[in-house]
Amino acid sequence: MILAKFGGSSVANSHQFKKVKNIVNSDANKKYVVVSAPGKDEQHAFKITELLIKLYHARPNSINFKNLHAEIMQRFYNIIDELNLDKSLKLLVTNTFSNVKKLSYAKLVSRGEYLNAQIMANYLGWHFVDTNDFLIIENGQINYVASQLRLANIMHNDDKIVFPGFYGVNFNGEIQLLPRGGGDTSGAAISNLLGVDKYENWTDIDGIQVVDPHIIKNSVKIDSLSYDELQELSYMGLSVFQEDSINPLKNKNIPLVIRNTNHPHRLGTTISNQNSSSDITGVIGDQEYSLISIKKYGLAKETNNMIAILNVLNQFNLEIKCMVSEFDSINLFVKNIEKIGQLEAFLVKNNISAKVQSNIALVAVISQKVLANNKLQRRIIDILEKHHINSFMFNQSSNDIKFLFGIYAKDYQRAIKIIYQSLFEKNLVTQAL
């Protein structure tokens, strides 16, 4: 059994719906579908979900409100009309948005997925099952045990089902949204609950490339990689698949395949418990870091010193990507924060001697080869050195498949390019490793 999840661009209009039908019907094992709300396409600059958020915040009965309300309904009407579907679906759309002001934020914003799943179920001739009826979300976390129990009461073995992504329900029966990338999370969670053999994540890309396509357009595509490798990539900024959605699949050893709805014959990238098909899985990074360097004499002598400093930093809600502490120093790499001046003043006030530097990039080369020996690391240092890119921090931890280094943001894109070129384009990979 396969669960196929279609993201916003894959279900943006009737034309995309037809592609989905072809994909789903081409394989009898595809028994479950999860859909997002209609996304952007050439005609539409906004996702339905974005419009719904705007609608929620619009002043009722303002022109803005009326325009948004009409625009949202029209997109669903168009899909229904263009696919010649049952007129009752249009009534469902109208009724859903008949009393917008009474809907909670979560309920209104989730109606894009709800209606799209209803329309898709009708179009495919499958059952619609509302995640509202089984996917228990408390405090933003899915309760798998409770969800499993509810789902068992709904499911019949032979059903082919379309589910809406992005939302579930709490124990009080109130609709709850999943955080960032909720569609991926729904797909992964439902795959876990159903125990499917494969989870296909249909998108508008051919799979995962070694380098961010914004930096190198056609870098090598990775055919397969492991859950852990994907987690490292996601951690370093890859947004192809939502980071929190990996574990529900990994825990049940369900392979995840990233595929392209617009090119369904391309094989995509498979994520499983098998290591990457490529020596190098990714050259990935982000240039929007700040480096907080803290000095405190005798820091390492007592764990309490570290705890005290972290308690101070804690008040700034930092996401600490990487922290290295020694003897008398702590270096923290955090995503650029708006109020750097305020943080610095705060540290001074708390008698913490610190320096904050912005425009820092962190780059990781992800490869199982990192574990085997130090040849790859040596080669990367070599490449940076030859191109006069100064790396002021680098780090490789035990059992780690990631070689991480810090450079200045100005060198970021160039560093990614030269490393990729050296490792891939010159056909030196085997020689290097």
- Given the rule CB under 8 A, which residues bind a second copy? 231-232, 235, 244, 247, 291, 293, 297-298, 300-301, 303-304, 306-307, 310-311, 313-314, 317-329, 331, 357, 371, 373-375, 377-378, 381-382, 384-385, 390-400, 402, 404, 406
Minimum CB separation of residue 377 from a second copy in Å reads: 6
Minimum CB separation of residue 193 from a second copy in Å reads: 19
Minimum CB separation of residue 226 from a second copy in Å reads: 15
Token pair of 26 as six digits: 């081409």
Q: Which is nearer to a second copy, 171 or 297 (CB)?
A: 297
Strand runs labelled E in 7-134: 30-35, 127-128
Strand runs labelled E in 116-268: 127-128, 137-138, 141-142, 161-164, 167-169, 175-177, 198-203, 208-209, 221-222, 224-226, 256-260
- Cα separation of 165 and 251, whole Å? 20
What sign does the dihedral 286-287-288-293 (CA atoms) show?
A: positive
Q: What is the DSSP code (8-state) at residue 341?
A: H
Q: Which is nearer to a second copy, 90 or 321 (CB)?
A: 321
- Cα separation of 282 and 236, whole Å? 10
Q: Which is nearer to a second copy, 105 or 297 (CB)?
A: 297
Question: What is the three-class DSSP state of 17?
Answer: helix
Minimum CB separation of residue 298 from a second copy in Å reads: 8
Minimum CB separation of residue 328 from a second copy in Å reads: 8
Pairing between β-strand 353-366 and β-strand 161-164 as defined by DSSP bridges: unpaired
Minimum CB separation of residue 394 from a second copy in Å reads: 6
Q: What is the DSSP code (8-state) at residue 136?
A: B
Q: Which is nearer to a second copy, 15 or 375 (CB)?
A: 375
Closest CA to 175 of 218, 220, 203, 134: 134
Minimum CB separation of residue 333 from a second copy in Å reads: 9
* β-sheet bridge partners, residue 168: 176
Q: Which is nearer to a second copy, 202 or 405 (CB)?
A: 405
H or E segment at 399? none
Residues 6 or more apart from 5 whose CB is under 8 A from it?
A: 33, 34, 35, 36, 165, 183, 184, 186, 187, 199, 200, 201, 202
Token pair of 3 as six digits: 């669960």
Q: Which is nearer to a second copy, 18 or 386 (CB)?
A: 386
Q: Which is nearer to a second copy, 139 or 399 (CB)?
A: 399
Minimum CB separation of residue 301 from a second copy in Å reads: 6
Q: Which is nearer to a second copy, 171 or 392 (CB)?
A: 392
Minimum CB separation of residue 164 from a second copy in Å reads: 26
Given a contact cutoff of 8 angstroms between Cβ atoms, the answer to whether 196 and 151 are in contact is no
- Cα separation of 28 and 204, whole Å? 23
Token pair of 4 as six digits: 């196929």
Q: Which is nearer to a second copy, 26 or 358 (CB)?
A: 358
